[in-house]
Each structure stands twice: as C-alpha cells, then as structure tokens.
C-alpha cells in the first residue's frame, strides 16, 4: 500500500477511501466501507478505532468470514508462496519461513487441531513474536472455548 495521509483518506470519496485501505483487513474491504461513514477522522487513532468498531459491530457471520479469510501460520499456502504480500511479510518477520521440518510439522499439527476444534484458522499478531512463543500460544489457546477464540481472533486481527 502506498503511503496515504489521513487528510487524503478524509477527503477521498467512499471508493477511494476503501481502495486506499485495501488489504488492511484480509480480503474484507467491507470493514473500511463501514468505517468510511465516520469521516473525517481527527487522528490515526480515531481511524483505527473506527475500523475495529466496524469489525466488532458486524454481524457474526461477517466477522467469522473475516477470521476464516486468514491463512494458516506456516501453512501450505506459505510454503507454496501464495500468501498476500502482507501475510508473507508478517510470517517472515517472525521467522516462520525458516522452520525446520520438525517445526513445520508442529505448526501443521497445531493448525489441523485448531481448525478441527474451532472451524477457523489460529490468528495471532506475529509481529515481535518468536516461533517458540507462537507455538506455546497455539497450545494454550486450544484449551479455550469457541466464543473465547472468536473474541481473541478479533482482538488479534485489530493488532495486525
């Protein structure tokens, strides 16, 4: 995404606003579409709050679709090179592109267990996390209930 100023976002028409924020929420331009009504934003923090509010206030099916739009961490899509540029950068930043075969197998096993239990991928903001921390979080969060994991996934999406 090219550098875009808050003034540009506030002055843009609805389509321009949504286009400028393309990719902020994984394959879900509706989040920016919903937030656009709150313009003008006084600060980036206000814009961020509006985007997260649009996400949290959406109907459950829409929120779940956004969660499901995220890729597995260190999954097959990552190995195949078919992630979005943003997802690739996030996973690479956490070293998930440099996993040993054993580590890849652990991520695969946890991705499968998590997906089987909750019906959506494990989501964590990997920025500034290590692969070891991510694996521990994975195992801990498998103990949660589905509603708690939906809430946690939404929190993590807002952090991303």
Which one of the listed residues 8, 27, 70, 108 is annotated catalytic? Answer: 70
**59 touches 158 (CB < 8 A):** no
CA 42 to chain centre: 25
**96 touches 106 (CB < 8 A):** no
Tell me how far CA of residue 58 lies from CA of 55, 61, 79, 133, 137, in angstroms: 5, 8, 32, 31, 27
**93 touches 127 (CB < 8 A):** yes
CA 12 to CA 10: how far, in whole Å? 6
Write down the H helix ranges in the chain: 6-11, 14-20, 30-35, 44-57, 60-68, 76-80, 85-93, 101-118, 131-141, 146-159
Confirm whether 8 is a catalytic residue.
Answer: no
- The residues assigned a catalytic role are 70
């Amino acid at each position: 995404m090219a550098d875009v100023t808050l003034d540009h976002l506030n002055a843009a028409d609805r389509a321009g606003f949504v286009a400028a924020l393309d990719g902020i929420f994984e394959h879900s331009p509706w989040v920016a579409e919903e937030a656009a009504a709150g313009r003008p934003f006084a600060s980036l923090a206000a814009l961020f709050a509006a985007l997260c509010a649009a996400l949290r206030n959406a109907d459950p099916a829409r929120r779940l679709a956004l969660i499901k739009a995220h890729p597995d961490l260190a999954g097959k899509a990552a190995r195949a090179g078919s992630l979005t540029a943003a997802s690739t950068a996030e996973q690479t930043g956490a070293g998930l592109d440099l996993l040993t075969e054993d580590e890849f197998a652990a991520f695969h096993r946890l991705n499968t267990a998590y997906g089987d239990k909750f019906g959506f991928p494990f989501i964590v903001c990997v920025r500034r996390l290590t692969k070891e921390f991510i694996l521990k979080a994975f195992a801990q969060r498998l103990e949660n209930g589905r509603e708690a994991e939906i809430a946690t996934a939404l929190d993590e999406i807002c952090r991303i």
